[in-house]
Amino acid sequence: MSNEGRNPELRAQFDINYYQFLDNQGTLKNSLPTYLEDDKLQVALYRQMVLTRLLDAKCIALQRTGKMGTYPSTLGQEAVGVGIGYAMTKQDVFAPYYRDMATQLIRGVKIKDILLCWGGDERGNQSEQTPFDLPCCVPIATQVTHAAGIASAIKIRHEKHAVVSTLGDGATSRGDFAESINLAGAWQLPLVVVINNNQWAISVPREVQTAAQTLAQKGIAGEVRCEQVDGCDVLAVYDAVKRALAHAYEGKGPTLIEAITYRLCDHTTADDATRYSPSDGLKKGWEKEPIKRYRSFLHSKKLWDEHKETALFEQCEQQINTAVQEYLDTEPQPPEAMFDYLYEELPRSLKEQRQQLIDKTREAQP
């Protein structure tokens, strides 16, 4: 049956905007707002993206040589993490997922801590530099609900800062995400949710996750301000998050940002993307990658040259190698450490088990 001749009233209509400053070649497509015309900031964004990429390569090398565990690469997605990290203030709270090393580094997490985490040591999450940020979250999309809770706490206490949470494209299929977005709209929470749409959830392509034209529009049902940005354009990401945070600080409510990227790597070091991913996707992905285009942009502005590039690489390598050495030199926790943070105070019944483990370890030593 068609709806012909029924004359409905128009009740709502929606648009999704896409933001980009730099095209794939690094040419400025739209003029920058004045606050982005900041040479120091522009160079800092570049340096951080390079550090992220070099550290990423090191992490993969460590995993391949048995010195670290499974690791999710950020290759090709550096602009998302760096844009978010620079847009946030110290007071804001970050609720990351597992592919967020770039932002965590800017927040103050040490390289050594990142390595400890993926090297199978809880102390990597101890990070004193980020007292209220949540640690890297593995159960998909659950962090978004916690972020909504943090945003609620901020609102209850009449505080002025905001929360940023991240997730992948696949993660937007989970109820945790939809429920949080709904709440954020209903309660007008100071929450910014950024989707790193890298086109894949392990082997499942974005089109298989949802029939929706954009992931950004998933905010519409909850009356959440939403937009798409070029996630390989660090200036666009920075600007989108900055605007979203300003909106939140003013008490105007949440924003959902879909950052379009491409995963230029396997899902993790445990994955083999050649099983499912056609190589032309990867080729197109490389054309958009964030660092090369941004370097061209800085070159054109005379903010960067080969000299600086060489110096930066050397500096990053040194910083990374020092941290790697610190990581490799870190003694494992004693076995009984597994008991030490279960509760504020260890219950009596567990003290006995803890002692048994200590005795057993001692016996095993010659």
Ligand X SMILES: Cc1ncc(C[n+]2csc(CCOP(=O)(O)OP(=O)(O)O)c2C)c(N)n1
| Residue ranges binding another protein (CB under 8 A) | 69-70, 98, 117-122, 138-140, 170-171, 173-175, 201-204, 208-210, 270-271, 275-276, 332-333, 335, 337-339, 342, 349-350, 353, 357, 360-361
Indicate if 307 belongs to the active site.
no
Footprint (CB under 6 A) of ligand X, residues 283-342: none
142/228 with CB nearer another protein: 142
Which of 18, 35, 276, 341 does the annotation list as catalytic?
276
Footprint (CB under 6 A) of ligand X, residues 32-71: none
Indicate if 293 belongs to the active site.
no
Footprint (CB under 6 A) of ligand X, residues 195-214: 196, 198, 200-202
133/258 with CB nearer Mg ion: 258
The values of phi and psi at residue 227, to 5°, are -155, 165
Stretch of residues binding Mg ion (CB under 5 A), selected from 13-21, 181-189, 190-198, 329-337: 190-198
Footprint (CB under 6 A) of ligand X, residues 150-169: 168-169
**Token pair 């879909």 in the structure block, residue:** 258
Q: Which does 99 bind (CB under 5 to 8 A by kind): Mg ion, another protein, ligand X, none?
A: ligand X
b/e for 120-142, b at 16 or more Cβ within 10 A?
ebeebeebeebeebbbbbeebbb
Shortest CB 335 distance to another protein, Å: 4
Query: Could you give the CA distance from residue 49 to residue 51 in angstroms, rounded to a whole number?
Result: 5
Shortest CB 120 distance to Mg ion, Å: 24
Burial degree of 82 (CB within 10 A; 0-12, 13-18, 19+)? buried
Which of 267, 293, 294, 327 does the annotation list as catalytic?
267
On whether the CB atoms of residues 118 and 59 are closer than 8 A, the answer is: yes
Indicate if 98 belongs to the active site.
no
Report in angstroms the alpha-carbon separations of 57 from 146, 269, 347.
Answer: 31, 11, 43
Shortest CB 205 distance to another protein, Å: 9
263/293 with CB nearer ligand X: 263
Which of 19, 263, 294, 327 does the annotation list as catalytic?
263
Closest-by-Cβ residue to ligand X is 168
Amino acid at 221: A
Please state whether beta strands 204-205 and 200-201 pair in parallel, antiparallel, or not at all (unpaired). Answer: antiparallel
Query: Binding of Mg ion at residue 209 (CB under 5 A)?
Result: no
| The only residue of 26, 124, 135, 168 in contact with Mg ion, by rule CB under 5 A | 168
Binding mask 245-274 for ligand X (x = CB under 6 A): ------------------x---x-------
Shortest CB 243 distance to another protein, Å: 29
Shortest CB 358 distance to another protein, Å: 11
- Cβ neighbour number for residue 243 with a 10 Å cutoff: 18
On whether the CB atoms of residues 199 and 284 are closer than 8 A, the answer is: no
On whether the CB atoms of residues 130 and 105 are closer than 8 A, the answer is: no
| The only residue of 78, 92, 133, 169 in contact with Mg ion, by rule CB under 5 A | 169
Binding site for Mg ion (CB under 5 A): 168-169, 198, 200-201
Binding site for ligand X (CB under 6 A): 99, 138-140, 168-171, 196, 198, 200-202, 263, 267
Catalytic site residues? 263, 267, 276
